[in-house]
Amino acid sequence: MAEIFKIDEYAPLFNIEGAFEEDIQDAMVHGCYVANLAYRLAKKLGYDEEFCLKVMQAGMLHDIGKLRLEDGMYSRKEDLLKADEMKYVRMHPTLGYELLCEKKIGDNEIRQSVFHHHENFDGSGYPDNISGEDIPVGARILRVCDVYSALVSDRHYREAYDKDTAITFMIEEVKNFDMRIFLALMELLHSDEFYEMEQLGEMMKNQVEIQKEKSANSQPAVAGRLATRLA
């Protein structure tokens, strides 16, 4: 049975001036999915409740910096961007980190997880090109959860991949991930617990749709109350 974990204190962060309504909705849905998955994965890896909740919060907020990007670049595919556009989009972990510091949201562990969530285990990521265990463990957890969530979600340029296809793509890029964390994710994705989490994900999407309809005639849009944890 799902337990609703409300994070109203974070909702105003999604109401960024100039952000498109559709981008705000995408950020909420994607953030909630990553938060749920990261919480469960951290639990599976044996971390305590305090750390798991921090990873969950970082997962909810990891892409918040994208809403500060201009010209509707939130949902653009990196492979289709020009070099200068890609450099611009890759500023989003820094923008997110700065926003969290500015608003005094989360502790340094949460902020560092957001800042480093695009680092790759082999050192080929960004923004700092750090590798291995130099990457905060929270960021390493978010890395695999973020990639999986992106693959199984609809995008403007493609439909969502099914779970098996998403796993195949991740195996092809496994050098990017901490192998211990990646293998734990594979176990989680094939568990009954994951099926329960998917049900919560569908409920959360419906919740966001309802909230979007309610706020359609008011500005700024209200992010609303989001479910981000399973009992």
Say which residue, 10 or 46, is predicted with more confidence: 46
Q: What secondary structure, in 3-state letters, does the chain show?
A: CCCCCCCHHHHHHHCCCCCCHHHHHHHHHHHHHHHHHHHHHHHHCCCCHHHHHHHHHHHHHCCHHHHHCCCCCCCCCHHHCCHHHHHHHCCHHHHHHHHHHHHCCCCHHHHHHHHCCCCCCCCCCCCCCCCHHHCCHHHHHHHHHHHHHHHCCCECCECCCCHHHHHHHHHHCHHHCCHHHHHHHHHHHCCHHHHHHHHHHHHHHHHHHHHHHHCCCCCCCCCCCCCCCCC
Question: Averaged over 205-228, what is the pLDDT?
Answer: 49
pLDDT tens digit sequence for 76-101: 555 556 667 778 789 999 999 999 99
pLDDT digits (tens, 9 = 90+) for 155-198: 777 898 999 999 999 999 999 999 999 999 999 999 987 777 66
The pTM of the full predicted model, rounded to 2 decimals, is 0.83
Distance of CA 53 to the CA centre of its chain: 14
Domains of the chain: 8-214 (1.10.3210.10)
**C-alpha span between 176 and 159 (Å, rounded):** 24
Average pLDDT score, the chain: 81
In angstroms, rounded to a whole number, what is the distance separating the alpha carbons of residues 56 and 73?
25
